[in-house]
Chain A
Amino acid sequence: MYFRFGSALVLVILMSVGGVAIEKQCLALRRSVIRQQYRRDALGDEYARLRLETQQLGAPVRLFEALENGRLELARPDGPNEPGAKRSPLLAWQSARHTDR
């Protein structure tokens, strides 16, 4: 009888300990998922911010006048990055008004 009682008690304790361990694992995983979601959101925000910045820096309004006047130094690549890509005619073109000056 004592053996059976003891076995039952041990079983109950083992189940409880197992349950607690699983619960802790669940919570840890949940924390991890939430952390990943937060990181993803933060990276998305950073991506949006950097995209805005690159678009501002590369805006035609900002670059073209300098390009047309020859004030912008261009590092011309040896060849096109993509075969068949069209060369921008703007690199070889200057406004008639600026040429007149």
Chain B
Amino acid sequence: MDNPLPVKSFDVVVGGRVIRTNGRSEGSAQKGAIANRDGHGTPGRPAQREKAESLTPPRSNAVMRGRRQFVVVAVLITAGLALTARLVQLQVFESSRLAERANRQRSYVDALPAPPGDLLDRDGRVLATTVKAHSLFVVPQDVSELWPFSLSLAAALKLDADRIYERLAEQREKKFLWIKRRLAPVEEEAVRKLNLTAGTWGFRDEYLRRYPQGTLAAHVLGLRDIDGKGRGGLEESLETVLHGRDGRRTLIRDARGRVIDLADDEDIPPRRGADVRTTLDAVVQMYAERELDRLVDEWKPQGACAIVQDPVTGEILAMASRPAFDPNDPESVSKDAWKNRAVAWMYEPGSTFKPFVVAAALERGLLKRDDEIDCGGGEMRLGSRVLHDRHAYGRMSVTDVLVKSSNIGMSRIGARLSNPQLHATILSFGFGRPTGSALPGEMPGMLRPLKEWSSYSNTSLSIGQELAVTPLQMICAHSALANGGTWISPKLVLSTAGTSANRALDSRASTSIVSKATDRSAARWLIEQPMTEVVRRGTGQRAQVAGYTVFGKTGPAQKLDPQTGTYSATKYVGSFLCGAPAADPRVLVLVVVDEPTTNGSHYGGTVAAPSAAEILRQTLIHLRVAQDDTRNASATP
């Protein structure tokens, strides 16, 4: 076979021998020498030549070998480069992110909630405190059989098994699910006795707010919700002081998530909230609550409230509202019971407002103490409006106008004041704005702007209509009369347990807003004459307390009927305010009864006065206020 292609000479190693071809054509190659091991060529014998030819590699094998080497090297270099690039990416560009991620997987920051501070009464009795309680959680993904598990938990905790099962089934893949928080010790013991599989459940410590005095002052204190946030009352308004500062600790975990160490250097211990001493006196509060309960039993009103205040300092000694609730059992609280009627409810004050109008007229010289007022025989027409008194009165002294609570007499006294003067008087006694009691939800009352007053406004306001006040506003205004004419903002916080962080609150607690409400002599005369006579021989006779000269003012007021827009003939608010001793008032008590429904009376002197007097009497004894005869004896040289 002819091969026209020229063949160059090349060496072939066969069995350790080097075979060299001469590069000639096949015909020539057959004639070529085959090199021996020692390199000496032997003229080609045919057999040897054939063997040499068969062992001669083709040219493409070498090329392939070169290429393979190239590919291997290239792959190795590429892989090396890729690894280098990845390393650079991980170590340089993503270093911080990955380090953070690794840290997150390794360590776990556990929040340590701070226990809230205590609320105390003025003598240090605990009104609200905090204890630790266990909350039960389960690990749904580790629970093998849901239904038996749910049944046993439901039996121990008195819960609905179906509901537990549903929740577990919904959260099947989760590692954490609360079953019940803040268990009672009995429930905790019952769960332990179930001997559930370890790792499927556990307890966590949480803080439980308790109110050792029960329902006492529940509206003033408020309560804390399931997450420990203050809701209502001082718990809400003093949240920043009571709450303290949460801490944290860092736990180091292994690959399976088990805690193996604590990172001490990163620990921040929780700081307990500050204790707050309130102005409340638990004993006086109890008297007020007890009397309110009796009143509610007797008169079955829509609601009622009582406030006891020190008129000199403005400190609230007791504040109670009905219906009430037990803050230890927040789930049982009815919708109506949340409202603190002492601050979050308004009513037309009626006759209890009249002394302020008299004070304003006296202060401005528009009325003299011995003036006589024509009360028009019990009826007076005022445009299209007819004003009535309970009885037909003729001419009466200023004192008698207040003692008999004559609407006509008061309208004539009010008429001596101009509208701006009357408006200024109402404002100076703190009506139409919140008192600043620090209680959440406090209402400002309702006083129409002067420009919106009608021709009847002067008359209406003089008898305590056409404005709405809160009970707290009313007692603060009367305190201004009792202390000689100075309006003082009510105070509920005495002090906080001495951390420097709470100095701001301390200063706020010790600071009162004080403003001049009326002339001192007018205020003193009103307390010692007309208001004392109200109790001695007027509408408030049921408020007499043996041994003390009591002053007071009754206040029946009609309620507006929302359907007709006029005053209702059947719905009233009965209120009574009293204080003692008249010569140097130490205690003021206000009782307001909303819509008494039984026994057919609605007058403050009947409905509210007995309870107010009883609260006053008990408080005077508790505070060791000297009786009048003792006082007079000690004053006599």
Contacts and interface: CB of A to CB of B under 8 A. Distances in A.
A96 interface: yes
A45 B131 contact: yes
Interface string B608-623: 0000001001100110
A60 B286 contact: yes
Instruction: Report, as a range, how many residues of chain A touch the other chain.
Output: 10 to 19
Given A55-B125, A56-B212, A59-B214, 14 more contacts: A45-B132, A48-B130, A49-B132, A51-B129, A52-B129, A52-B212, A55-B126, A55-B212, A60-B286, A61-B286, A64-B283, A93-B621, A96-B614, A97-B614
Given A89-B621, A89-B622, A95-B618, A60 B129 contact: no
Interface string A26-69: 00000000000000000001001101100110011100100000
A48 B129 contact: yes
A52 B283 contact: no
A90 B624 CA distance: 10
Nearest to A59: B213
Interface residues of B, number: 21
Contacts of B621: 89-90, 93
Contact of A60 (B130, B210, B213): B213
A69 to B, nearest CB: 13
Interface centre among A45, A59, A93 (most CB of B within 10 A): A59
B129 A89 contact: no
B282 interface: yes
A59 B622 contact: no
Interface of B: 125-126, 129-132, 210, 212-214, 216, 282-283, 286, 289, 614, 617-618, 621-622, 624
Interface in A75-90: 86, 89-90
Contact of B131 (A52, A61, A64): A52
Given A59-B212, A59-B214, A61-B213, A96 B617 contact: yes
B131 A48 contact: yes
A89 B617 CA distance: 13
A63 B608 CA distance: 26
Nearest to B281: A60
A7 B187 CA distance: 67
Contacts of A89: 621-622, 624
B202 to A, nearest CB: 18
Nearest to B262: A34
Nearest to B120: A55
B189 to A, nearest CB: 15
Nearest to A48: B131
A47 to B, nearest CB: 10
A48 B129 CA distance: 8
Contact of A51 (B126, B216, B283, B614): B126
A49 B131 contact: yes
Nearest to B289: A61
A86 to B, nearest CB: 7
A72 B289 CA distance: 21
B612 to A, nearest CB: 15
B379 to A, nearest CB: 41
Interface centre among B125, B286, B289, B614 (most CB of A within 10 A): B286
Nearest to B215: A61
Nearest to B286: A60
A78 to B, nearest CB: 23
A97 B624 CA distance: 20
Contacts of A51: 126, 129
Contact of A90 (B125, B130, B212, B622): B622
Contacts of B617: 96
A60 B622 CA distance: 13
20 contacts: A45-B132, A48-B132, A51-B129, A55-B125, A55-B129, A55-B212, A59-B125, A60-B125, A60-B283, A60-B286, A61-B214, A64-B283, A64-B286, A89-B621, A89-B622, A90-B283, A90-B621, A90-B622, A95-B618, A96-B617
A56 B214 CA distance: 8
Contacts of A96: 614, 617
Nearest to A57: B212
A1 to B, nearest CB: 45
A89 B213 CA distance: 21
A93 B617 CA distance: 12
Nearest to B546: A96
Nearest to A86: B624
A59 B213 CA distance: 6
Contact of A61 (B129, B216, B622): B216
Contacts of A97: 614
Nearest to A55: B212
Contacts of A55: 125-126, 129, 212-213
A36 to B, nearest CB: 14
Contacts of B213: 55, 59-61
